[in-house]
Amino acid sequence: MKSVLSIAALLLAPANAFAPTPVAFAPPSSSTRAAPGRHPRRSAFALGASKNRQKIASRTKWAEARGHGEDEDASSDAGRAPKLIIAGAPASGKGTQCELIKEKYGVVHLSTGDMLRAAVAAGTDVGKQAKDFMDSGKLVPDEVIIGVVKDRLDESDCAESGWLLDGFPRTPAQAEALADAGVSADCFIFLNVPDDVLVERVVGRRTDPETGKIYHMTFSPPEDEEVLARLEQRSDDTEEKVKVRLEQFHANVEAVKGSYTDISVEVDGTRKPDEVSATIMESIDAVFAA
């Protein structure tokens, strides 16, 4: 019984670039609107009970595999779930690592753009404020973005399963505002990749317009000559433009990292994805084993 209570305690206990960029908004289609009689916020955010049970079961299995529970005080960490932030420059590999973290820990993966669009579709108070700025083509101010993020993190799936903020906060002001709103993280993961490697990664990217699959002319070119012939390069995947994005990134990243010094983990992002993932997982596991 003590073991079960301790595992429950672990499960429930509290614990691209960094420059501001406009978020594109597409008005919700009829397929995304809540059905008559259904609450829009629940339609946009909340997971079904069965999915929540699956995530809790995943966290239970994760805790048991690490031996948590036998001699731990069940009352010491009540309500804890992973609260993670991952940061890195464009092409640092955040997308790949977010998927791996989500798969292993069952956390809710959150990006600012997705949260803003969902809040607008749900018709929340902060969503309505954000929509006014989006519709006028203006940047959504930090206070509105923080409100959207705070509301989303208060949703039941985030509270029960934990969350992973992808590339947010982007600026020192956002980091401070997030802290002022009472949002704290367990671990801040920073993927460190030199600029010359990032430029090579970005400039070599190509997209198949028919399938949407992304290739790299150096690291993963297509074997099919027909596919190779139709590949396209994004207009912002040029050396000049990526260097501008990196300048914006470096203008903010050190200050943002400074906001999370005590929980920061810097990972060499030049290694193979599975090696990067192993280091990240070890760091997260260490936080919850402490």
41 is catalytic: no
Q: What DSSP letter does each residue of 25-55 carry, written as one string?
A: --PPPTTTSPPTTS-HHHHHTPPPHHHHHHH
230 is catalytic: no
Could you identify the residue written with the tokens 């008559």? 36
Among 266, 244, 245, CA closest to 254: 266
234 is catalytic: yes
For residue 98, which amino acid is it? C
Q: Which 3 state secondary structure label does DSSP give 214?
A: strand
d(CA 126, CA 130): 6
Residue 234 contacts residue 207 (beta carbons within 8 Å):
yes
205 is catalytic: yes
* C-alpha triplet 159, 163, 169: angle, nearest 5°: 120
| Active-site residue identified among 59, 117, 131, 245 | 245
| Active-site residue identified among 41, 131, 205, 206 | 205
38 is catalytic: no
Cβ-based burial of 206 (10 A; exposed 0-12, middle 13-18, buried ≥19): buried
Cβ-based neighbour number of residue 174 at 10 Å: 21
d(CA 197, CA 93): 12
Among 209, 202, 207, 208, CA closest to 238: 202
| Active-site residue identified among 170, 243, 257, 271 | 170
Residue 74 contacts residue 9 (beta carbons within 8 Å):
yes
Q: What secondary structure letter does DSSP report for 10? A: H
| Active-site residue identified among 94, 117, 131, 201 | 94
Provide φ and ψ at 139, rounded to 5°: -65, 140
* Chain length of the chain: 290
Active site residues: 94, 170, 205, 234, 245
